[in-house]
Amino acid sequence: MTEKASFRDAVERRRCLVIADGFYEWEKRSSTVKQPWWITRSDHEPFAFAGLWAAWRPAPDVEPLRTLTIVTTQASPALERVHDRMPVMLERGDEGAWLAHDTPLDQVLSLCRPLERTDMRAVGPAVGDARHDEPDCLDPAPEELSLF
């Protein structure tokens, strides 16, 4: 974040929180099969992702475009078998330090570590369709796919 020009200014001045109760990650099982996983805090409580935001105007007569990105870090040991990185899920109590403009940059960067206390469970293929946003996205995977 501190090396890429596109993020350097945002990490210093435009940090935000993205509230969630979990996220999906896909494990590549073969060249054609990917297993989706639902990943949550181990207590299954909502949490905050560390985010960065930006606003820019592509042309003078156009409304500003507002964007955000969720910061990623190396995967925790529990998740590294599925993916080599994961979103930064802030520890309880770290949200204020992430948002505060007076938090020293080295402390901000120290917050970008993998959350160790997570749960993951295999979910079915319904989550694979971006147009499908229904409760069945969290249904368990068929047994033959959920074996790890």
Domain boundaries, the chain: 5-138
In angstroms, rounded to a whole number, what is the distance separating the alpha carbons of residues 136 and 140?
9
Span 1-27, pLDDT tens digits:
888 877 888 999 999 999 999 999 999
> Nearest 5°: phi and psi at 92?
-55, 130
- 16 near 48, Cβ under 8 Å? no
- pLDDT at position 56: 87
- pLDDT at position 146: 52
pTM: 0.88
Residuewise pLDDT in 10s, the chain (148 residues): 888 877 888 999 999 999 999 999 999 888 888 899 999 999 999 999 999 999 988 899 999 999 999 999 999 999 998 999 999 999 999 999 999 999 999 999 999 999 999 999 999 989 988 899 999 999 999 875 555 4
What is 5-138's CATH topology? hypothetical protein yedk fold (3.90.1680)
Give the strand pairing for 34-41 and 118-122: antiparallel
Q: Which residue type is seen at 64?
A: P
Question: Tokens representing 145?
Answer: 């796919």
Q: Cβ contacts of residue 13 below 8 Å, gap of 6+?
A: 101
